[in-house]
Structure 1
Amino acid sequence: PSEAAGHLLDALPAGSWIVLTEPYELREEGTQYLARLDDPRGLFSVAATFERCTKWPSVTVAGINADGFETSCHLPIEAIDRLTGPRSEVLHELAAAVDHNERVLLACHNQAEQQRLAELLAETAPTFAERVTLCVGHVSRGFRIVSERLVVLSDHELFGRTEVRRMPRRRRIETRALDSFLDLREGDLVVHLSHGIGRYRGMRRLQKDGRVEEHLVVEFRDNVQVYVPVSLIHLVQKYVGASRAAPELSKLGSSAWAKKKRRVAEAVSDLAAEMLQMQAAREARPGIAYPPDSHLQKEFDAAFPYTETDDQIQAIDAVKRDMERSRPMDRLLCGDVGFGKTEVAMRAAFKAIDA
């Protein structure tokens, strides 16, 4: 942010705490990030940011070398690698631990998996299900706290899953409104909501009403320039056209841009009406309402080797809800190669066959 806009830390509510994880590495990362930018103007320096951190109560988390300590702290924690194999055997061992007055905590990656595990245990091991605690949390490997008589295990260990979470790649949508002037390079074509197509010509600080603010300089036809305050940056977005040929810059004050927007709005309205008619026709047709997930379906879902991503879980739940309705499903499943579309489709296919 610019000095006029203020620093992120200045927006924290009173009484906030700051956690600095590996501050030396944070300084290095910040310095390297600023060095990669073509134009870091308007951003606070790393030193200025850390100086602001001193104004708040903080906690520093950093790795230290323990060789120089005179005493060591021994935690009575044991690994439980032996809890591997078929799920029935693992459940049997956990039930035995409960019988010996040990508490069992099963950690799930999210609430959806917690709910599914609770339903599965209630059907397959109801007595055991009543004596364990399920929670949402991340545990890479199970362990036992001896002094507390507590066994902690993750759901991926219970199901023999590979602990690999495929993180979705976020693609930048170039036609969206800009989040920052750093999204632009000088000479880029842009679209101003009110004035049309222009060319970005950099940043300029201007003073108005005693206040200094950064402005985007946008050039239109006949070298006419408009200064857009960064506080109104949502009015500007990158230009992306279907043709490789560069478009003409809009003429400021002309009615041509308003006419184009009106024609586009009418075309969008016509398309929306057509889609609504099509959707109404589809909704009027009867379909097959499949029953809720059976025990066999839950077993099948749990047998997949990878932990689902949040997007996968959302897609799976949406598809199953569609299948349980009495109307035909009308859904398009999109995703990059290797991000689990087939796993979603297999669950839907199994649900249809199981019915």
Structure 2
Amino acid sequence: MTMKQMMKRIIPTTAWVGLRNLKGRLCGARAEGAQSKRFKRWYSRDESTDKTRVETRLAFDIHRLEKGLSHVGFRDGFGKGVLAEISKRMVLLEKADSNYEKNPLYLQGLAVLHEYQHRHEEDGYDLSEAKCLFPARIWEAAHEYRPEDSIEAGSFVMNSSSKKDNLSRGFVDLAEHRYSVREYSSEPVPQELLDKVYEVSMKTPSVCNRQATRVYQITDPGKVAEALEIQGGFKGYAVPPVLLLVTSDIRAFMNNGERNEPFVDGGLFSMSLLYALEAYGLAACPLNAMFSLDQDRRTRELLDIPDYEFPVMYIAVGNFPESVPVCRSTRRLPESIITRI
């Protein structure tokens, strides 16, 4: 007989259960603390100067500039604050990476600046103020930059005609041509099409098939507008016809060791939704739902979300307009992220 078995015989069941629960709470608190400390040690700060974290900030700002370049209502002279950040990060990357001239993020910085310069020159807009934000070498290198197929940034125009046969395309072709679309036609989205999207998405795997994901479909324009106002990351765009909020039901999980699983399962389901929407010819864009406490409270009140659900992400949905500019959002090469063991 093991020591554990002997203890179970001696100690009353209620006390044993209490001790086990106490141990679980202590282990959970320790794990949460360690996880929080690790994140705080390694996340990318404004003052970070090492290569990887400078790249993180540069990628973020390149995408911010891409969104301005891909806006239907393109506005000359936009983005001076973003340009200043891109300049700062490119200078830091020159110091952090001895091979910066071949660094994909550095080249994307040149590419997005190249389009920014070109678009304004076409409009005859004076870029003197923007030019002053950059060292001359970076500004001139961007002006002369000729993007490679694998390293581009900026925007391009997508035509709805390219989406008409999506349902008959193979997965690889479908995935390679999916882009986030933030501006939609005025045509309403048929409910029967959304129902087909949900049906396909239900095949998403989940931990032990517990299927904790929930979806809130919001079509009331007032509530969509209010939800996005609280969310704060969709400013400058018209209200989308449909807004989906993906959440996870915490009641589907069984111990503190599964505390991150709601976001894993919710993320998997969200990607299934995005691919299913693309397959059925609907335009979509995933939106952050990592709320502050105030945003969380206001969103729960607006959409009547119970306390036992975690928000995972929003997805804006609509029909493709005849043509729409979209961000290139260039991806890393696979070999840059794969570790073979």
What TM-score bracket applies, with the shorter chain setting the length? under 0.3
Q: Which has the larger radius of gyration?
A: 1
Higher percent of residues as strand: 1
| TM, length-normalised to structure 1 | 0.22
| TM, length-normalised to structure 2 | 0.23
